[in-house]
Chains A and B, each alone.
Chain A
Amino acid sequence: MGLLDREFSDGNIVIAKTEDLLNWARLSSLWQLSFGLACCAIEMMATSASHYDFDRFGVIPRPSPRQADIIIISGTVTLKMATRIKRLYEQMPDPKYIISMGSCSNCGGPYWEHGYHVLKGVDRVIPVDVYVPGCPPRPEALLEGLIKLQEKIRHETLRKKTA
Chain B
Amino acid sequence: MDKLISNDVKTEELVLNMGPQHPSTHGVLRLVVELEGELIVNVKPYIGYLHRCFEKHCEAMTYPQVVPYTDRMDYLASMSNNLGYAIAVERLMGIEVPERVEYIRVIMAELQRIASHLVALGTYGVDIGAFTPFLYCFIAREKILNLFEMTCGARLLYNYIWVGGLSHDIHPDFVRLTKEFIEYFKPKIVELNELLSFNKIFIERTANVGILPLETAVNYGVTGPVLRASGLKWDLRKNDPYSIYHKFDFDIPVGDGRMGTVGDSWDRYFVRVREMEESLKIIEQAIDQIPDGDVKAAIPRRIKPPKGTIYSRTENPKGELGYFIISDGSVNPFRVKVRAPSFVNLAVIGEMSKGHLVADLIAILGSLDIVLGEIDR
Contact, chains A and B (beta carbon distance below 8 A): yes
A contact residues vs B (CB 8 Å cutoff): 33-39, 41-43, 45-46, 49-51, 61, 63, 65, 75-76, 78, 80-81, 84, 88, 110-111, 113-118, 135-136, 138
Task: Name the one of A49, A81, A113, A135 contacting B50, with C-beta atoms under 8 angstroms.
Answer: A81
- Count, chain B residues at interface, CB 8 A: 36
Ordered nearest first, which 7 A-B pairs have the shortest CB separation? A49-B138, A39-B75, A50-B135, A81-B49, A63-B23, A51-B142, A115-B53
Interface status of B317 (Cβ within 8 A of chain A): no
Interface status of B129 (Cβ within 8 A of chain A): no
- Structural contact, B155 and A50, CB atoms closer than 8 A: no
- Structural contact, A49 and B27, CB atoms closer than 8 A: no
- Structural contact, A38 and B20, CB atoms closer than 8 A: no
Task: Name the one of B23, B49, B138 contacting A80, with C-beta atoms under 8 angstroms.
Answer: B49
Given contacts A38-B75, A49-B135, contact A117 B155 (CB under 8 A): no
Across-interface contacts of A76 in B (CB, < 8 A): 50, 52
- Structural contact, A38 and B27, CB atoms closer than 8 A: yes
Given contacts A80-B51, A114-B56, A115-B53, contact A51 B69 (CB under 8 A): no
Interface status of B242 (Cβ within 8 A of chain A): no
- Structural contact, A78 and B27, CB atoms closer than 8 A: no
What are 5 sample pairs from A and B whose C-beta atoms fall under 8 A apart?
A42-B75, A46-B138, A51-B138, A84-B49, A111-B52
Interface status of B228 (Cβ within 8 A of chain A): no
- Structural contact, A51 and B75, CB atoms closer than 8 A: no
Interface residues of B in 310-360 (CB under 8 A from A): none
Across-interface contacts of B75 in A (CB, < 8 A): 38-39, 42
- Structural contact, A84 and B50, CB atoms closer than 8 A: no
Task: Give A54 Cβ to nearest chain B Cβ, in Å.
Answer: 12
Task: Name the one of A33, A37, A42, A45 contacting B28, with C-beta atoms under 8 angstroms.
Answer: A37
Interface status of B76 (Cβ within 8 A of chain A): yes
A44 to B101, CA, bound (A): 32
- Structural contact, B20 and A84, CB atoms closer than 8 A: yes
Given contacts A34-B23, A110-B69, contact A78 B52 (CB under 8 A): yes
- Structural contact, B119 and A81, CB atoms closer than 8 A: no
Given contacts A36-B27, A51-B142, A136-B156, contact A81 B53 (CB under 8 A): no
Task: Give B197 Cβ to nearest chain A Cβ, in Å.
Answer: 20
Task: Give B321 Cβ to nearest chain A Cβ, in Å.
Answer: 17
Task: Name the one of B27, B48, B145 contacting A37, with C-beta atoms under 8 angstroms.
Answer: B27
Task: Give B96 Cβ to nearest chain A Cβ, in Å.
Answer: 31
A61 to B21, CA, bound (A): 13
Across-interface contacts of A135 in B (CB, < 8 A): 157
- Other A-B pairs beyond A37-B50, A78-B49, A115-B56, 19, CB < 8 Å: A34-B23, A36-B27, A38-B52, A39-B72, A39-B373, A43-B156, A50-B136, A61-B23, A63-B23, A76-B52, A78-B50, A80-B51, A81-B49, A114-B56, A114-B57, A114-B60, A115-B52, A115-B57, A136-B156
A4 to B60, CA, bound (A): 58
- Structural contact, B138 and A50, CB atoms closer than 8 A: yes
Name which residue of chain A comes closest to B75, CB basis: A39
Name which residue of chain B comes closest to A84, CB basis: B20
Task: Give B276 Cβ to nearest chain A Cβ, in Å.
Answer: 18
A117 to B157, CA, bound (A): 22
Interface status of B68 (Cβ within 8 A of chain A): yes
A51 to B136, CA, bound (A): 10
Task: Name the one of A50, A65, A116 contacting B53, with C-beta atoms under 8 angstroms.
Answer: A116
A37 to B51, CA, bound (A): 11
A81 to B50, CA, bound (A): 7
Given contacts A39-B157, A42-B119, contact A118 B53 (CB under 8 A): yes
Interface status of B372 (Cβ within 8 A of chain A): yes
A70 to B57, CA, bound (A): 33
- Structural contact, B156 and A81, CB atoms closer than 8 A: no
Task: Name the one of A38, A49, A51, A116 contacting B373, with C-beta atoms under 8 angstroms.
Answer: A38
Task: Give A96 Cβ to nearest chain B Cβ, in Å.
Answer: 15
Across-interface contacts of A88 in B (CB, < 8 A): 21
Task: Give A142 Cβ to nearest chain B Cβ, in Å.
Answer: 12
Across-interface contacts of A114 in B (CB, < 8 A): 53, 56-57, 60
